Amino acid sequence: MKNSEGSQALLEEAASKLRQAGYKLTRPRRVIMEWFYRKQEHATPHQVHAAVKDFGVGLTSVYRNLELLAQVGILRQVCFHDGYQRYEPVLPGDHHHHLICSGCGKVVKFFNCDLDKLEEQLAAETGYVVDRHMLQVFGYCRRCQKDR
């Protein structure tokens, strides 16, 4: 798989995270991360496997490595309530959420997130230290609105 300068920098940062957590950058991990950094999309383990199997990465290896990469913070697990666990790359400065069509399942990223006051209120009320949040908004896209 070819790397752009940006994905090479991301790969080096990911390798550093792996080392800090006591893991090595194995060939399967490298191939999986290169694919995610190139595509920058949500993918199920089977979709990842279809993309990397020609590089000698088996399905079991894909599952194990996706879990590990999520545990280390290189990937993030996302579930759009369709029964499939997906993963997406964690990119520096990329704080986003998802708008999901309840009809066709189309996913749109959105970046305007004004939850700071809510986080402060929750922390004050519960004593929690909020370290992250994830927001998913469901509705119907224009195409599915027409079909309803």
3-state secondary structure of 104: coil
18 Cβ neighbours under 8 A, 6+ residues apart? 24, 25, 29, 72, 74
Among the listed residues 80, 115, 117, 113, the one whose alpha carbon sits nearest the alpha carbon of residue 94: 113
Indicate the pairing of strand 75-79 with strand 107-110.
unpaired
pLDDT at 45: 96
pLDDT at 4: 62
Is the alpha carbon torsion for 136, 141, 144, 145 positive or negative? Answer: positive
pLDDT at 39: 86
List domains and CATH numbers for the chain: 5-89 (1.10.10.10), 97-147 (3.30.1490.190)
**Contact of 65 with 21, CB cutoff 8 Å:** no
DSSP label at 43? B
pLDDT at 87: 95
Tens digits of pLDDT across the chain (148 residues)? 445 667 788 899 999 999 999 999 999 999 999 999 998 788 999 999 999 999 999 999 999 999 999 999 999 898 877 778 899 998 887 778 888 898 988 888 888 778 888 999 999 999 999 888 888 889 999 999 988 7
H, E, C per residue of 48-100: HHHHHHHHCCCHHHHHHHHHHHHHHCCEEEEECCCCCEEEEECCCCCCCEEEE
pLDDT at 5: 64
